[in-house]
Structure 1
Amino acid sequence: MPEATAFPVVVSALWAEGRGRPDFLATGTPTLSWQVQTDVPGWLQHSYELETRVGSAVQAERRQTVHSQHQPWPAEPLGAYASAAVRVRVTGTDGSVSGFSPWLELGTGPLSPADWAAPFIAAAPAGTESESDAESDADDRGTTRFRTELTAAPGLVSAVLSATAHGIYQAVVNGQVVGDEVLTPGWTSYDDRLTFQSYDVTGLLREGANVLGATVADGWYGERFGFDGNFQQGYPGPRALSVQLRLEYADGRVHTVITDERWTASGTGPVTRAGIYPGESFDARLADAALVDPGTAFPHPLPVVVLGADVANPARLTPSFAPPVRRIEYVAVQSVTTSPSGATLLDFGQNLVGWLELSLDAPAGHAVTLRHAEVLENGELGVRPLRFAEATDHFTGDGDGRRTWSPAFTFHGFRYAEVTGWPGELCPEDIRAVVVHNDMVRTGHLQTSNPKLNQLHQNVLWGMRGNFLSLPTDCPQRDERLGWTGDIQVFAPTASYLYDVSGFLGSWLRDVDADQRRAGGVVPFVVPNPLPMTPMAAAAWGDAGTLVPDALFERYGDEAALATQYPSMRAWVDVVDDLAGPDHLWSGGFQFGDWLDPSAPPQNPAAAKTDPDIVATAYFFRSTSRLAAAAEVLGRDEDAARYSQLAEGIRAAFVAEYVTPAGRMLSDAHTAYALAIGFGLLTDPALVAKAGTRLAELVRSHGYRIGTGFVGTPLICDALCLGGQSEVAYRLLLEEGCPSWLYPVSMGATTIWERWDSILPDGSINPGEMTSFNHYALGAVADWMHRAIGGIAPAEPGSRVTLVEPVLGGDITSASASLDSGNGPVTVDWTLTGSTFALAVSVPPNTTAVVRLPGAAETEEVGSGAHEWVTDVAELVATTAPAPLGMQTSLSEIINDAEAASALQALFAELGYVIGLGWTTGGRWKSNSPLGTSLIMLPPAGVARVQQLLAELNTRP
C-alpha cells in the first residue's frame, strides 16, 4: 500500500458486508468494516472518512465514531448490475491520520426477484411437452442437462451469469465450468427462500457463437428424506434450472439470455446417477460435445417446459450472501492396506468431508467403485452407521487415455475408502481426498502444552469443517445430514470463535425464520425442514432461534443482524410462554432433554438422568433473558421490560420448584447443576457455592467420567469454575477413560463423535442405530477451552473490549490463543514455570483488553499494543504430599489420586471384584464413603490384598 507507508497508522484491510462473502454483493447497501495497523500504543479511532466512487463521481462522508465494524453504506443504494469502489482513512483520538486504503471494488448482480427475468425450465419426457408430465418423470436419480446457444457481438465488456436450480447445478460456458463454487445453490428453505449465484464469465465467452449450458442433479431439492427406511422427496417438482446471462457492450447495449422454451434438454449424459445419500456414477463413454461446441446438439434432445409459479415461485429468489462452498484442501493417502476379505482400503489419516479425485487410464467399459466410511470394524469398512446411505461412487472409463475425475453432485463423510476395480497397480499418488465446505475465514486458534488437548481441539475444528457445508448439519455421512437446531445451538459460541460464521449462520437463520413462520412460531427440529411431521416445540433445539443470534451478536456486535432475527427470537419465547402457562414451568410433552447422556441406553438416547422438565424450564429462562437483552440493545424498551420481568418470574419458579435451600437439585445429576449455575438461575453466591460443591462431588463420584449429554456438556466446566471448582473442571476435561472428551482421542479419533462411546473399548462400533463419528455437539467444550485455557472472551459485543483471564489447572504449563473478531487479532501467550506465571498479550488497534491474572482480585485495562506480566502463583500451584492411604480413606480421596485409583481398579479386575469395578459407573467414589466399609462382599483374602496394595502405595516417593 504505497500511499499509506508515510503514515504511522495504516488501514490494513477493508471489506464490505462480510468476510468470505461471494464475489457479487447480495445487497445494494453493504456495511463496511476495516482493520487498522499501527505501532502507536493505545490507538483508538476518533473518526473516519469514506470515499465512494460510482463511475467517475466520487463522494466523501466523514463520521465521528469509535466503531470500525458494520458501518453504514455512505452513498445511494446500488442497483442491480452496478459497480462502485470505496476506500477509507481514519483519524485517531491522538490526532494521527492514516492514508486512504486501496480502493475496494464492489459489484452487484441481480438483487431481488424484480431483477430476475428467467423462468424455471425442466425437461419434458420424450414425446410430451406438458409440465405435469415433466413432474411425473422426476423419480429417477440421474441428471438433466440443459443447453442453448448465443452470439457474442464485438465490443463485449461485461458478462454476468446468474443461476439457480431445483437441485444442484453446474453451469458451463463453452464446456468450461463457471466459477469455483460447488454444490450450488446449496440448501435453504426452498418453499420460501432459494438463493442464486452470480459469476463474471466475460473471459469465458468468445466473439461469435457460444454454448451456454448446465447439468442439474437432485441435490437436496430432490433427495428423499426420512428415517427407518421411510423416505420421500421433500420438495415438489422435477429438476429445474433458471439462468440469466447479461451481456453489456462498450456502446451501452445490453442483451440478456434467459432460460426459456428455446433451450433444449437431455436426460442422458455421463453422470448417470447422482444423489446426496447414494453417491455419483459417471460413465465417460457417454460424454459428448453438446455443452462444449456450438452447433452440436444433444444426442437425444428433449424439449423443455416452463414451470409455473405454483412450482417455481420467483418471489423466493434471493442472492446468496453466505461464504460459498468450495474445494478447500487436498489430503493425500496415508496408507494402502488389504482388508481380511481382500478389499483394497485407503486411509487418509483424517475423517473429512468431500470426495475422492482420481487420476487414471481406464479401458472403455471398465468400472471403478469407491465406497466410503469413517471407521473400520474388524479390519473392514464400517458401513453400518451409514444406515441407508450408500455413499458409493462409480467411474466407468472410455479408453481415451488418462483423465482426472471427481464427483460434482454428492459428498461423503469418510476417512477410509474401499477401491474396487482399479485398472493396473494402484499408486497412492493417483487418488487424493478433496475437503469441501463453506469457505469461511478462520479467526480463532488455540494451542496448549498438552498434546491430547491439542488433538481434541483439532477434532472440534475438523468436526465443524465437515458439518458446515451449506448449512450446519448434525453429521455428514449417513442418511440424515440435516440442520438439527439443537446441535448448532450448543456449538455456535465455539463456531464463532474458530471462524467468521456471521454470513454462514446469518444465512441459515433466515431459514429458521422462514420455517418458524410456517410453524406458527415453533422452531422445527431441523432447518431447513423437509420432514412431513408437524413441528413440535422442544427445549434446546427450538432455542436455536434465540441463542444462535445472541451468540453471533456477542461475537460480532452487529446490531442490524440482531434486529433481523429479533422477530424470530420473540416468536419462539412467546410460543414457550404459552406452553409453560402462568406458573412459568415448561413441563410435560415431548422433549429431547439432555440428549445422549452417557448413561442412556444405546436405543434410547433421550433417557437422561436429568429430568427433561428441568432442561425445558432452564432453557425457557435462558432464551427469555437473552431476548430481553436483545430488546435493550435494539431500543425496544417495552419488550425489554416485559421479558426481563418474565425471565425473573421463570427464574424464581425454577428455584422454588427444583432447588432446595441446601443447593441440591431435584434431579441430582450433572446437567441439572450445570444448567442452574451456567445459565445464572442461581443468583445467591452462597447457593451457587453449594451447588458447585455438589456438582464437584458428582463429578468425582463418577471417577471424573463425563455425565452430560448435548445440553450439559457445553456448560459443565463453566459451572464448575463458577462454583469455585476449576481444578475439578480440568480433571474432568483431562480424563481419558470412557466416557470422556479424551477417550475418543485415545481411540484415534480425528473428529468429535456423536456418542461418548461411538466406538466401544473393545474396538467395536456402538450397537445403537444412531452412531456418527463426525458430530460437533459434544465438542462445544472448546468454547470453555478458548476462554479458560486460552484466556480470551468478549467483554463487550464485537470484542471492542476483550476479557483476558486464563484459568490455571490440569498441569497445563503453557497456552497460545488468538481471536480476530474483526478489529484485528488479540493474542494471548502464557507459560507457567514452577510458580512463575508469565503472560504476553497483544491487543489490536481500536480495542482494549481487561486483564485478570490468575488469583488476582483486581483487573487491569490496557490499550492496543504488546503487554507483558510476570507474577508468582505459588498459592495456586502448591501441592501437598498425599496423605497415607488406609481403610478409612474416603473413596473420593482415592479417585483424586490417579495412580492409586488405577492400581486399585487393576487389583479389582485381577480379583474379579465386579462391585468395585462398578464404582465409576455407579458414582460410588464419594467423600462420605470410607474404603473399608465400601468393600462389601469382598472375601478376607481380597481385603488383605487391598491392604497390601495400600501399604505399597504409601511407600511411593
Structure 2
Amino acid sequence: MPVKPSRVRFEHGHSGLGIGHREPRISWRFTGQETDWAQGGYELSIQKPGAEEARYRVVSGSSVLVPWPSAPLDSGEQAETGSLSASPTEWSEPSIVECGLLRVEDWSCRLVELAESQAIDKPKRPVWFRRSFNVAPDRQVQRARLYITSLGVYHAELNGQLVGDEQLAPGWTNYNLSIPYQTHDVTNSLRNGQNMLAAQVGEGWYAGRFGLFGGQRNIYGSQLGLICQLAITYQDGEVQTVESGDSWEASFGPILTSEMYDGEVYDAQQLIDVLQRSPNESWAPVRSSSLGGIVLKLFSPDAPPVQCTQEVRFREVLRCGPRKFILDFGQNLVGRLRVRVSGRPGHTITFQHVEVLENGECAIRPLRHTAAKDTLILSDGQVDWEPRFTFHGFRYVEVTNWPSGDDGVPGADDIIARVLHTDMERTGWFKCSDPLLNQLHSNIVRGMRGNFLSVPTDCPQRDERLGWTGDIAVFAPTGAYLYGVPSMLMDWLRTLTLEQLEDNGNVPPLISPNLFGPQGKNPTALWGDCVVTLPWDLYQATGDPRILEDQWESMSRWIDHGVDLDERGLWAKGRTWQLGDWLDPMAPPEEPGNGRADPFLVADACLIHSLDLMVAISAVLGKTNDQQRYEKWAARARTEFAREYISAAGRVASDSQTALALAIEYNLHPTPGQAERAAERLEEIIRNKARFKIATGFAGTPIIGHALTKVHRSQLFYRMLLHRKCPSWLYTVLMGATTIWERWDSMLPDGSVNPGEMTSFNHYALGAVGNWMHRVIGGLWMDEPGWKKILIRPIPGGGLSSASVKYPSPYGLIEAGWEALEGGDGAETFQLEVSIPPNSTARIVFPEQCHETVTVGSGVHQYQVPYIPPEWPPLPIYPPFAPHDDDTP
C-alpha cells in the first residue's frame, strides 16, 4: 500500500478548535507500507478564509512538530491545512485549526451569579443560567463559536441541544491561578429568529467539599458563576456577540445537590423547561460583575476533555434484602449510572457505589468520609436520569427501593454504567501467551483510565482523588506508552508550576491542584522530583524540547533552591520528613511510609537521578554552564552517597530490594565490581528472603525490573512478575482485581479488606510495572526521544511462548511480535516480525544467545533465528529445615 500522510495534527494532538497557540506546530503520521521509505521534504498548504491558498515547500525529513509556516493566527482566526511529503505522496485530508481568544481585550462578557448567595457551609444547589437572543431572520450564519467556562463545573445547551460532549467541564484547576475555557462550534444549533442559550453550573471542585480528613468547602470560592460569550459570524463578515451579563436570568432545577464525594440528589418532580418562557416561572435576575482579574487567568487548554468513553451493563444481580439488591458490573470503573425507571411520584431510590464487597455486603469503610450515594426521587411517568456533576469509583451498586417490576429488578438497559475519563488517544497495546499477565495489563490500562480524570488522581472512590506528584512521577513512562498523555500532563504541569513558583516559591506541592496550602510544600524527594522526571518522560515520548524549555524554571528552582541540602550536597537529615519507599508491603497498615529502605537513602538516590536528568536536559537546551555545574554536583553527590550508604564490598545500607535496585539502576556504585556484588546480593534477597515476592513500594517498584534486566537477571523478575502469592501482582489478579490496587494486600486472602485506614482498589501507581512489560517482554521502546529511531529488543523468558506489542508513534503504527517455536534437543527457533512506519528506522537486538543486531527502515520485516531458551524457573533458596512456601510455575 503506498505511503500517504494521515490527518494533520496540531501541537500534541490538539483538536484544532480554540487552540491557544498563534503559530501551532504541525505533525502528520503516515499510513501505508513501503520498504525503507524516508521523507525528503514536505509541502504544506494553508488556506485562510477570504485569502488565496498558500503553499510552503521545505526540504526536510521532519514530519513531527514542524514550524508553522504562515503568518501568526489572530484570535478566532481559522486556517485549513494539508500536507504533502515530497517523496512523493498524495495530499493528506485537510484539517482545520482555529485560535481561541488570545488577548484579554477579546473577552467582553461579565461574570454572572445568583442574585442571592447560597449558604457557604452547605452543598451548593446547581444553578441554571439562561438568556434568549435573536438571530437575524433574513441572514445566513457562516459560523458560531461559544467560548465558555464557569466557577464550578458546567453543562451547556443551545436551543435545548447539548453543547459539546464534555463532562465536568472546565475540569479541575487552581482557580486562583488559571481557569481553562472551552471553545465550541455551535453553528448547527442556531436558528433564525429567537434562540435560547443556557448553562447549568454545579459546585464541582470550585466550591464543593474536597480533600483529606473530610475535606473543606469553598476552596476557591463560595458562589457559582458562569462566564461565556457567543460569537456569531454572518456571511457578510459582521459579528454578533451574545455575552453573559445583566440580561441573563437564573433558576434552580431538579438537582437538589450534586457533590463530588457524596453524590447527587435529584427530584424529577422539580423538572423545569429551560426553553419555556411563561410569566409564572421562577426565573430571577442575576448578579453580574466585571471579570476583573479573572480574565488574566483564562486560557485555552491543550488537554482533551473528560468524556464518556464506554457504557457497561451489569453482569449479575445479587440479592441482599427486601427491595434491595446489588448490581455487579464486572469491573472496577469510574463514572456514574444512567437510569431509566417508572414509579409513583415521590418514590425515592438510592444507589450506593462501592469497589468491593465484604461478607456479601457493600464495603463502605474504604470510602472514609465519602457517601458515594445518589438519590433519585421519581415523578409521574418514565424518568431518564444521569447524575451530572459527580462521579464515583465502583464495581458494585446497592440499589434500595427499586420499584417492583416483573421480578423486582431492573432490565439490562434500565441501569447502565457510563465510564468517564479524560479522552486521551489510546496508543499502546500488549499481549502475551500468559492470560494472567494479559489480565494484569488490562488492569493497568483500566486503572489508568479511572485515575486520569481531568488531573492524574490517586483513587476515584474515597475522600481524596488528588493529583499526587509521586504517583504520576513513577507511572509516567507506562502511561505515555498506553495513552497520548502529553497534552493532559502538560496542562497539569502548568498548574503545578504556577503553584510551585507562587510567591517566588521553589518547592512544588505534594499534590496539584494544591489543597494543603503551605504545609503541602514540604521538600520531599521523588514527589518533588516529579517536576524534573515528568517533563523528561514527556520529552522522551514526544521529542519536543519545548516541554523542557517551558519547565526549566520549575526544574532548576526545585533542584537549586527547593531541595534541603547539607554541606555534602545530599539531603539534610532531620530538617524535613520523607515519604521514602511509600507502601512497602512490609510497612504496617497504619504506617505506609515505614518501610525497609532508609527514607534518606531513597531521597538521595532520587536527587542524584534528578541531577543526571538535569545534565541531560541542559545538554538538550544548550545550557553549557548549567550542564557542567550539574555534572560536578552529580559526581560529588555520588561520592558522598557511596561513603554514606555503600560498603567497600558493594553492600547497600537497608539491604532491601528497593535500596539495591536504586543503586544499580542509578549507577551509584563507584566500581563495576561493587555493582556486581550488589546484583548478587539483590538476587540472594529475592531468592532467599523474599522467595520472589515483591518487597518494594513507590520508589522501588518502577525500577526493580529494569535494574535486574540491567545486570542480566531478567528471569528473576519474570519469576517475581509471575508470582501468585501475596504480595505480588498476580495475587491481585487471582483475587479478582480488574484494576491496580493501592496496597499489595488491599484485600486479604480471606476476602476481608485491609484494616489500614488508607485502602483503595483503583490506584494506578504500582501499575508502573507495565513499562517493563512493554520494553522487555514486548521488546518495544524508543532509541531516541520522539520515536523516529525505534528500539526492538525483546528478552523472552518466564516460560512465555509469544508476545506482541503495537504503538502508533508520531510517525505511524509500530508493531512487533515474537514467538518461540519448539525444536529438538531443547533448542528453539525465535521468530520475530516487525512493522516499522515510514520515515523512521529501527534497531533490532535479538535475544542475547543470538548475538545479532540489525538496523532497518520502514516496512514489514521477518526473522527466524536459532534460540536457546533461558533456564526456567529460577528457584527459591530455603535454609535447612525451613518450611517451603513456593508457587513455582
Give your verdict on TM over 0.5: yes
Equivalent residues in 2 for 1:722-737, closer than 5 Å: 722-737=710-725
2-structure distance, mates of 1:467, 1:597:
21
Shift in alpha-carbon separation, 1:347–1:528, aligned structure 2, 3 A:
same
The one of 597, 619, 626 aligned to 2:606: 619
2-structure distance, mates of 1:697, 1:464:
33
Pair 1:313 & 2:304 matched: no
SS in structure 2 of the partner of residue 838 of structure 1: strand
Equivalent residues in 2 for 1:612-761, closer than 5 Å: 612-682=599-669, 684-700=671-687, 701-761=689-749
Q: Is the 8 A contact 2:658 2:699 kept in 1?
A: yes
2-structure distance, mates of 1:699, 1:191:
49
Match of 1:117 in 2: 108
2-structure distance, mates of 1:579, 1:306:
50
The one of 42, 46, 54 aligned to 1:48: 42
Match of 1:179 in 2: 164
Pair 1:765 & 2:756 matched: no
Q: Is the 8 A contact 2:181 2:301 kept in 1?
A: yes
SS in structure 1 of the partner of residue 413 of structure 2: helix
Match of 2:471 in 1: 487
The total of aligned residue pairs comes to: 871
The one of 20, 24, 33 aligned to 1:26: 20
Pair 1:845 & 2:838 matched: yes
Pair 1:332 & 2:313 matched: yes
The AA in structure 1 aligned to 2:205 is W
Match of 1:288 in 2: 272
The one of 383, 386, 395 aligned to 1:406: 386
Deviation at 1:47, TM superposition (A): 1.2
2-structure distance, mates of 1:231, 1:222:
9
Shift in alpha-carbon separation, 1:840–1:165, aligned structure 2, 3 A:
same
Equivalent residues in 2 for 1:805-820, closer than 5 Å: 805-820=793-808
The AA in structure 1 aligned to 2:791 is L
Q: Is the 8 A contact 1:113 1:318 kept in 2?
A: no
Overall identity of the aligned pairs, in %: 41
The one of 29, 35, 39 aligned to 1:35: 29
Match of 2:825 in 1: none
Match of 1:417 in 2: 397
The one of 573, 577, 580 aligned to 1:587: 573
Deviation at 1:208, TM superposition (A): 1.2
1-structure distance, mates of 2:811, 2:426:
14
1-structure distance, mates of 2:680, 2:158:
67
Match of 1:160 in 2: 145
Q: CA RMSD in A?
A: 2.2
1-structure distance, mates of 2:215, 2:182:
33
Match of 1:883 in 2: none
The one of 529, 532, 548 aligned to 2:517: 532
1-structure distance, mates of 2:838, 2:15:
24
Q: Is the 8 A contact 1:576 1:620 kept in 2?
A: no
Q: Is the 8 A contact 1:144 1:215 kept in 2?
A: yes
Match of 1:276 in 2: 260
2-structure distance, mates of 1:877, 1:607:
37
The one of 297, 303, 324 aligned to 2:285: 303
Unpaired stretches in structure 2, ≥5 consecutive residues: 823-827
Match of 2:365 in 1: 384
Q: Is the 8 A contact 2:344 2:378 kept in 1?
A: yes
Match of 1:953 in 2: none
The AA in structure 1 aligned to 2:307 is R
SS in structure 1 of the partner of residue 403 of structure 2: coil
Unpaired stretches in structure 1, ≥5 consecutive residues: 126-133, 881-892, 897-924, 936-945, 951-955
Shift in alpha-carbon separation, 1:298–1:867, aligned structure 2, 3 A:
farther
Q: Is the 8 A contact 2:7 2:94 kept in 1?
A: no
Pair 1:144 & 2:137 matched: no
Pair 1:78 & 2:73 matched: yes
SS in structure 1 of the partner of residue 726 of structure 2: coil
The AA in structure 1 aligned to 2:535 is P
Q: Is the 8 A contact 2:310 2:418 kept in 1?
A: yes
Shift in alpha-carbon separation, 1:353–1:230, aligned structure 2, 3 A:
closer
Shift in alpha-carbon separation, 1:114–1:570, aligned structure 2, 3 A:
farther
1:114-137 deviation line (CA, Å, top 9, x unaligned): 322222121121xxxxxxxx3765
1-structure distance, mates of 2:217, 2:193:
46
Deviation at 1:757, TM superposition (A): 0.2
Match of 1:547 in 2: 533
Instruction: Say which is worse superposed, 770-779 or 49-58, in terms of deviation.
Output: 49-58
Match of 1:11 in 2: 5
Match of 1:248 in 2: 233
- For the pair shown, the structure with the greater C-alpha radius of gyration is 1
2-structure distance, mates of 1:367, 1:439:
34
2-structure distance, mates of 1:251, 1:364:
52
Match of 1:216 in 2: 201
2-structure distance, mates of 1:644, 1:384:
49
The AA in structure 1 aligned to 2:123 is D
Match of 1:207 in 2: 192
Q: Is the 8 A contact 1:20 1:441 kept in 2?
A: no
Deviation at 1:103, TM superposition (A): 1.7
Q: Is the 8 A contact 1:169 1:217 kept in 2?
A: yes
2-structure distance, mates of 1:33, 1:545:
26
The one of 224, 230, 246 aligned to 1:261: 246
Match of 2:857 in 1: 863
Instruction: Say which is worse superposed, 515-524 or 383-392, in terms of deviation.
Output: 515-524
1-structure distance, mates of 2:642, 2:45:
56
SS in structure 2 of the partner of residue 303 of structure 1: strand
1-structure distance, mates of 2:32, 2:607:
45
Q: Is the 8 A contact 2:831 2:865 kept in 1?
A: yes
1-structure distance, mates of 2:642, 2:459:
36
2-structure distance, mates of 1:259, 1:791:
54
1-structure distance, mates of 2:530, 2:493:
9
SS in structure 1 of the partner of residue 790 of structure 2: strand
Deviation at 1:233, TM superposition (A): 2.9
Shift in alpha-carbon separation, 1:465–1:297, aligned structure 2, 3 A:
farther
TM-score using structure 1 length: 0.88
Shift in alpha-carbon separation, 1:756–1:264, aligned structure 2, 3 A:
same
Q: Is the 8 A contact 1:818 1:825 kept in 2?
A: yes
Equivalent residues in 2 for 1:102-113, closer than 5 Å: 102-113=93-104
The AA in structure 2 aligned to 1:528 is P
The AA in structure 2 aligned to 1:548 is L
The AA in structure 2 aligned to 1:359 is R
Deviation at 1:857, TM superposition (A): 4.3
SS in structure 2 of the partner of residue 717 of structure 1: helix
The AA in structure 2 aligned to 1:635 is G
More helix per residue: 1 or 2? 1
The one of 346, 349, 358 aligned to 2:327: 346
TM-score using structure 2 length: 0.95
Match of 1:58 in 2: 53
Q: Is the 8 A contact 1:138 1:238 kept in 2?
A: no
Pair 1:600 & 2:587 matched: yes
Instruction: Say which is worse superposed, 864-873 or 446-455, in terms of deviation.
Output: 864-873
Match of 2:496 in 1: 512
Match of 1:99 in 2: 90
2-structure distance, mates of 1:532, 1:813:
52
The AA in structure 1 aligned to 2:160 is G
Q: Is the 8 A contact 1:222 1:235 kept in 2?
A: yes
Shift in alpha-carbon separation, 1:683–1:203, aligned structure 2, 3 A:
farther
1-structure distance, mates of 2:796, 2:299:
49
The AA in structure 2 aligned to 1:547 is T
Instruction: Say which is worse superposed, 252-261 or 732-741, in terms of deviation.
Output: 252-261
Deviation at 1:309, TM superposition (A): 5.6
Match of 1:609 in 2: 596
Deviation at 1:422, TM superposition (A): 1.7
After the TM superposition, list the runs of 4 or more consecutive aligned residues in structure 1 that deviate by more than 6 angstroms: none
The AA in structure 2 aligned to 1:684 is T
